[in-house]
Amino acid sequence: MPAIHLTVDIVVFHMLEDELHVLLVKRGYDPFKNCWALPGGFVEENEALDDAVIRELKEETSVTDVYCEQLYTFGGLGRDPRHRTVTVAYMALMPSDKQPQLEAGTDAADASWFKVKKLPKLAFDHADIVAYGMERLQNKLEWTTAGFKLLPKRFTLTQLQRVYESVLGRELDKRNFRRKVELLDVLDPLEKFDRSGSSRPARLYEFSEKRFEKLKDKGILFPF
Amino acid sequence: MPAIHLTVDIVVFHMLEDELHVLLVKRGYDPFKNCWALPGGFVEENEALDDAVIRELKEETSVTDVYCEQLYTFGGLGRDPRHRTVTVAYMALMPSDKQPQLEAGTDAADASWFKVKKLPKLAFDHADIVAYGMERLQNKLEWTTAGFKLLPKRFTLTQLQRVYESVLGRELDKRNFRRKVELLDVLDPLEKFDRSGSSRPARLYEFSEKRFEKLKDKGILFPF
DNA sequence: ACAAAAGTGTTTTTACTACACCCATGT
DNA sequence: ACATGGGTGTAGTAAAAACACTTTTGT
Chain B residues with CB-CB distance to A46 below 8 A:
77, 84
What is the per-residue pLDDT across B3-15, written as a single tens digit (0 to 9) for each? 899 999 999 999 9
| B91-107: average pLDDT | 79
| B112-127: average pLDDT | 96
- pLDDT higher for B109 or A68? A68
Instruction: Work out whether strand A85-94 and strand A36-37 pair parallel, antiparallel, or are unpaired.
Output: unpaired
The DSSP code sequence of B113-151 is: EEETTS---BSTTHHHHHHHHHHHHHHHHHHSSGGGGGS
Closest by CA position to B68, among listed B46, B98, B92, B44 = B92
Among A141-150, A211-220, B21-30, B198-207, the minimum mean pLDDT is found in A211-220
Round and report the angstrom distance from CA (A199) to C1' (D22): 15
| A177-189: average pLDDT | 94
* Contact state of A73 with B49 under an 8 Å Cβ cutoff: yes
Backbone angles phi, psi at B25, to 5 degrees: -120, 145
Interface test with A, best of B42, B86, B135 (most A CBs within 10 A): B86
Q: Is the pLDDT of residue A220 over 80?
A: no
Q: Which residue of B has its CA nearest to A4?
A: B45
What pLDDT, on a 0 to 100 scale, did the predictor assign at position B197? Answer: 86
Q: Distance of CA B43 to CAs A43, A171, B49, B183, Å?
A: 17, 45, 7, 43
- The beta-carbon neighbor of B76 closest among A3, A4, A48 is A48
Chain C positions with an atom below 7 A of a protein C-beta are 3-10, 16-20, 23-27
Round and report the angstrom distance from CA (B199) to C1' (C23): 11
Q: Is the pLDDT of residue A162 over 50?
A: yes
What pLDDT, on a 0 to 100 scale, did the predictor assign at position B223? Answer: 43
Instruction: Work out whether strand A5-16 and strand A85-94 pair parallel, antiparallel, or are unpaired.
Output: parallel
Round and report the angstrom distance from CA (A220) to C1' (D14): 15
Per the CB < 8 A criterion, the answer to whether B188 and B126 are in contact is: no
- The beta-carbon neighbor of B2 closest among A44, A70, A72 is A44
Band of the pLDDT at B142, cuts 50, 70, 90?
confident
Q: Distance of CA B195 to CAs B17, B104, B176, B192, Å?
A: 16, 36, 24, 9
The amino acid occupying position B57 is L
Per the CB < 8 A criterion, the answer to whether B77 and B86 are in contact is: no
Q: Is the pLDDT of residue B159 over 70?
A: yes
What pLDDT, on a 0 to 100 scale, did the predictor assign at position A217? Answer: 66
Question: The pTM is what?
Answer: 0.93
Q: Is the pLDDT of residue B216 over 80?
A: no
What domains are defined for chain A? 5-137 (3.90.79.10), 143-218 (1.10.10.10)
What pLDDT, on a 0 to 100 scale, did the predictor assign at position B221? Answer: 46
Band of the pLDDT at A219, cuts 50, 70, 90?
low
Q: Find the residue closest to D5 using CA and C1' atoms.
A: B199
Closest by CA position to B122, among listed B24, B41, B8 = B24
Band of the pLDDT at A223, cuts 50, 70, 90?
very low
| B53-64: average pLDDT | 93
Q: Is the pLDDT of residue A140 over 80?
A: yes
Q: Find the residue closest to C8 using CA and C1' atoms.
A: A175
What is the per-residue pLDDT across B163-175, written as a single tens digit (0 to 9) for each? 999 999 999 999 9
Q: What does the alpha-carbon distance between residue A17 and residue A114 come to, in Å, rounded to a whole number? A: 12
List the end-to-end C-alpha distance of chain B, in Å, as a whole number.
46
Round and report the angstrom distance from CA (B219) to C1' (D7): 31
What is the per-residue pLDDT across A189-198, written as a single tens digit (0 to 9) for each? 999 999 998 9
Q: Distance of CA B42 to CAs A3, A127, B180, Å?
A: 12, 28, 43
What pLDDT, on a 0 to 100 scale, did the predictor assign at position B158? Answer: 97
| A88-100: average pLDDT | 93
Those residues whose beta carbons lie under 7 A from strand C are A 156-158, 174-176, 178-179, 197-203; B 173-176, 179-180, 195, 198-201
Closest by CA position to B44, among listed A105, A77, A39, A221 = A77
What pLDDT, on a 0 to 100 scale, did the predictor assign at position A221? Answer: 47
| A145-172: average pLDDT | 96
**Residue B32 region by backbone torsions, left for phi larger than 0, else alpha for psi between -120 and 50, else beta:** left
What pLDDT, on a 0 to 100 scale, did the predictor assign at position B101? Answer: 77
Q: Is the pLDDT of residue B210 over 80?
A: yes
Q: What does the alpha-carbon distance between residue B53 and residue A76 come to, in Å, rounded to a whole number? A: 12
What pLDDT, on a 0 to 100 scale, did the predictor assign at position A106? Answer: 52
Chain D positions with an atom below 7 A of a protein C-beta are 3-10, 16-20, 23-27
SS3 content of chain A, % helix, strand, coil (to 5): 30, 30, 40
Q: What does the alpha-carbon distance between residue B26 and residue A47 come to, in Å, rounded to a whole number? A: 30
Burial per residue of A121-139, b for 16 or more beta-carbon CB atoms within 10 angstroms, e otherwise = ebbbbbeebbebbbebbee
Q: Rounded to an integer, what is the distance from CA B54 to the centroid of its chain? A: 13
Give A214's DSSP letter.
H
* Contact state of B3 with A77 under an 8 Å Cβ cutoff: no
- pLDDT higher for A190 or B108? A190
Q: Which of residues 178-207 of B touch strand D (CB under 7 A)?
A: 178-179, 197-203
